[in-house]
Amino acid sequence: MKGDLFAPKVPDEVASRRPLADRLRPKSLAEVTGQEHLTGADGVLQRMIASGSLGSMIFWGPPGTGKTTVARLLSGETGLAFEQISAIFSGVADLKKVFETARMRRMEGRQTLLFVDEIHRFNRAQQDSFLPVMEDGTVILVGATTENPSFELNAALLSRARVLTFGPHDERSLRELLTRAEQVEARPLPLDDDARASLIRMADGDGRAVLTLAEEVWRAARDGEIFDTAGLTQIVQRRAPVYDKGQDGHYNLISALHKSVRGSDPDAALYYLCRMFDAGEDPLYLGRRLVRMAVEDIGLADPQALVVCNAAKDAYDYLGSPEGELALAQACVYLATAPKSNAVYTAYKAAMRAAKENGSLLPPKHILNAPTKLMKGEGYGDGYRYDHDGPDAFSGQNYFPEKMGRQVYYDPPERGFERDIRKRLDWWSKLRKERGEP
């Protein structure tokens, strides 16, 4: 599908029926709001244009941040022919057609900017088809994606394109968009200050969304009517938070929740937990993640943490939603306020490394069973001391393979219940030395 910045003028009565977001589309990069790090006077794209050298790029960012608009403006400001396709509706045949058109155009001395929307939806083979035309200069590729390019795009494609990140609109840029909308509509938005702030929050950083919501408000308002927050909520209902349970939004929030628990901030942990509840995350997934936090970040500093988390998961299973969420919230607060220790987690990783690195070493013979005469003859079980028969129910013998010698993986801190464990380990170490054990 071709785009033309210099298309014939649309009659005013038709233009007025176009969506507000389309009517407010910037005519130059300087008019783009919210992405000044890219489009501002000292932005990356302006520097590229000034240098006269435009390379292939991947625009990565959430919906409604101007990726398509900026690609169109780039073609206009550099004199490149603009071709646009969508990975949702296009296949191999469409790509071949676009590439052939670009080759013919190149023979005439004009280069093509190929904008590919939702480029991450192309499979690996389709992504590879871009490589030859990028390398020989047939097209300058500008791909747009809402997903993390590191996960969704081929390494070969990424190595030939620069990734530019589009951030969500902040409050300032969304307010600026509303001001422009009022100028185009030649009338104020019928909202009081609190409702206007609420509408901006509902947009969730999406410029297209804030303009769509504003249109809904204008359509609903009667002459002289001004909506407060309650009225706004009733009119537009509520726009669902931007959250994809399988992609970046999901991983960003679960990371924030985990790190807030680890950082002993129950308020932040509760906030992110509720963000995920509100976005429709499976509560049992969150229950499993809380169990993980209990064993990774609290460990034996508070052995009850794992018990509490498993009980919360069972409570949710029993109660269902919405009552069961409170049990998960309680577990979340418990974890955030518990003493922290990753000593078992660290010890486990160290022991696993040792298990992989040292191969199949035989345990010392004195702790091996000897069910046959042959094994007894080989010395299996010789010299084993039954700990319960010794003083303090502790023999202090070495249990590691002889070629390894005694190792230390678990090093509990002086926090929580692990203070007591630390005392026991120090006492047993002292007894070993007194008894001359290695």
Kindly state whether residues 176 and 121 are assigned to the same domain: no
| In a domain? residue 344 | no
For residue 59, the cross-strand partners are: 144, 164
39 touches 29 (CB < 8 A) = yes
Alpha carbon distance 53, 36 (integer Å): 20
Q: Helices 207-220 and 171-185 meet at what angle, rounded to 10?
A: 40
Kindly state whether residues 184 and 127 are assigned to the same domain: no
Kindly state whether residues 257 and 178 are assigned to the same domain: no
Q: What is the pTM of this model?
A: 0.63
Residue in the structure block whose two tokens are 């950082």: 263
pLDDT by 10s per residue, the chain, length 438: 444 444 455 555 555 578 888 898 998 898 898 999 999 888 999 999 988 888 999 999 988 899 999 999 999 889 899 999 999 888 888 899 999 999 999 998 889 999 999 999 999 889 999 999 999 889 999 999 988 898 889 999 999 999 999 988 989 999 999 999 999 999 999 999 989 988 998 888 899 999 999 999 999 988 889 999 888 888 887 654 555 555 667 788 999 999 999 999 999 999 999 999 887 788 999 999 999 999 999 999 999 999 999 999 999 988 888 889 999 999 999 999 999 999 999 999 999 999 888 878 889 888 888 888 888 888 888 889 899 988 889 988 988 998 888 899 999 999 999 999 999 999 999 998 988 876
DSSP string, 359-403: -SPPPPGGGS---SHHHHHTTTTTT---GGGSGGG------S-TT
| In a domain? residue 22 | yes
Domain count across the chain: 4
Sequence-ordered list of residues with C-beta below 8 angstroms from that of 246, at least 6 positions apart, any chain: none
| In a domain? residue 354 | no
253 touches 243 (CB < 8 A) = yes
Residue in the structure block whose two tokens are 């809904």: 216
As given in the structure block, the two tokens for residue 138 are: 């047939």
| In a domain? residue 355 | no
Of the candidates 60, 59, 94, which has an alpha carbon nearest to the alpha carbon of residue 74? 59
Kindly state whether residues 230 and 262 are assigned to the same domain: no
| In a domain? residue 222 | yes
C-beta atoms surrounding 229 within 10 Å: 16
Which residue type sits at 224? G
Kindly state whether residues 227 and 257 are assigned to the same domain: no
Of the candidates 407, 420, 417, 414, which has an alpha carbon nearest to the alpha carbon of residue 350? 407
| In a domain? residue 342 | no
Kindly state whether residues 287 and 421 are assigned to the same domain: no
CATH of the domain at 59: 3.40.50.300
Kindly state whether residues 217 and 266 are assigned to the same domain: no
Of the candidates 224, 213, 212, 237, which has an alpha carbon nearest to the alpha carbon of residue 187? 224
Of the candidates 418, 270, 421, which has an alpha carbon nearest to the alpha carbon of residue 340? 418
CATH of the domain at 291: 1.20.272.10
Kindly state whether residues 303 and 372 are assigned to the same domain: no
| In a domain? residue 221 | yes
Domain of 216 in residue numbering reads as 171-236
For residue 207, give Cα distances in angstroms to 32, 76, 91, 145: 11, 22, 30, 16
